[in-house]
A = this chain, B = another copy of it.
Amino acid sequence: MFNFKIVAESKTTRARAGILQTAHGEVETPIFMPVGTLGTVKSLSPEELKICGAQIILGNTYHLYLRPGCDVIQCFDGLHGFMHWDGPILTDSGGFQVFSLARLRKVTDEGVLFQSHIDGSSHMLTPETSIEIQACLGSDMVMCFDQCIKYPACRRDTRDALDLTTRWAKRSKDAFESDKNALFGIVQGGMYKDLREISAHDLMKIGFDGYAIGGLSVGEPKDLMLEMADFTLPILPDEKPKYIMGVGTPEDIVAMTALGADMFDCVMPTRNARNGQIFTATGTINICNARFKNDIEPIDPECTCYTCRHYSKAYLRHLYLSKELLAYRLNTIHNVHYYMDLARRLRKAVCDGRFEEFRGKFSKSYIV
């Protein structure tokens, strides 16, 4: 059932446009996936997400396993029914969160013993349980359980995490039973090119429906992040979707697309919206800024999102300063629309054979 098809390629870069076919519909790549950690993309309804252009969203296995728990989501035959989203869902494996959020972790070959960040209760996450939870969630794109290493990390620790990730990837694949959903391997290897290469080849040997690059955007300099992606992406098989996890800013997404990445996710459009940071064609603005006090213009007069069609910067600033719930939602609508529109324009540029031109214009107008 799951399938990936490339429909256009840039001649001068590695950028490509494709179609992901899933049990819940098609996704046009390059694609950005809004993050719906707890079964909701914060502040938005599923209908709003679609109007913003969202085609696929991400759910977090660690969070959903702890709350509401699989017993609840099972009653709805999965996350789609539970949260009223009928499009594709990608779930992470819980690996990243268990290392970044949970307390008192004990990592063994078997898996990770950890304490919930909510109530301190003890849990064990293994490749098998991660796959089982993701199956319960009804995920269209399932991630292998992996060990994401912090930055900076020494070569030995990075190698150990990579090897564990490979063994877990094998077990994840063995545990994965779906014939309609996809299983992605996650390349680790930190900031060591040769280790990235080993990891990629390890995973390709096992064989997956798609490949993700994990362990980027974890605090390393931007140049290093791009260097690692630039090195790793071409190793991965071109006929499979390539997913850069947790990335990133608009300029990151443009750069990574040029390097051959197809899929992205990041909390940036949603989280920053709730902090008053808004993405525009010329860079970000902070809606609290006093210069917007009497500004009757929308964020971007050319933007077609609901927020820009109906509300001024003065109103958005007022809502935000007043801590009104509608502030978070209107800001989020705009930011998600901005990201989805960026992905759409990237794709169109590839299809129209003018990706380089688009990238040039983008980097001239978008001030970082």
Contact = CB atoms under 8 A, between A and B. Distances in A.
B42 A311 contact: no
B324 A42 contact: yes
B294 A75 contact: yes
A325 to B, nearest CB: 4
A316 to B, nearest CB: 11
Interface string A71-94: 110011000001110000000000
A116 interface: no
Given A72-B293, A329-B325, A84 B39 contact: no
Given A314-B68, A328-B325, A319 B40 contact: yes
A48 to B, nearest CB: 9
Interface residues of A, number: 35
A325 B43 contact: yes
A207 to B, nearest CB: 36
Contacts of A71: 294
Given A43-B329, A72-B294, 7 more contacts: A40-B326, A43-B325, A45-B326, A75-B296, A76-B314, A82-B318, A325-B325
Given A82-B315, A310-B84, A325 B42 contact: yes
A38 B319 CA distance: 8
Contacts of A317: 68
Q: How many copies does the complex hold?
A: 2
A318 B72 contact: yes
A325 B273 CA distance: 13
A44 interface: yes
Contacts of A68: 293, 314, 317-318, 321
A11 B127 CA distance: 72
A134 to B, nearest CB: 18
A84 B311 contact: yes
Contacts of A76: 296, 312, 314-315
Give the residue among A76, A312, A317, A326 with the most B Cβ atoms within 10 A.
A326
Nearest to A44: B326
Interface string A296-329: 1000000000100011101101110110111011
B67 A314 contact: no
18 contacts: A38-B318, A38-B319, A38-B322, A43-B326, A43-B329, A44-B326, A45-B306, A68-B318, A72-B293, A72-B314, A72-B318, A75-B294, A75-B296, A75-B314, A82-B312, A82-B315, A82-B318, A83-B315
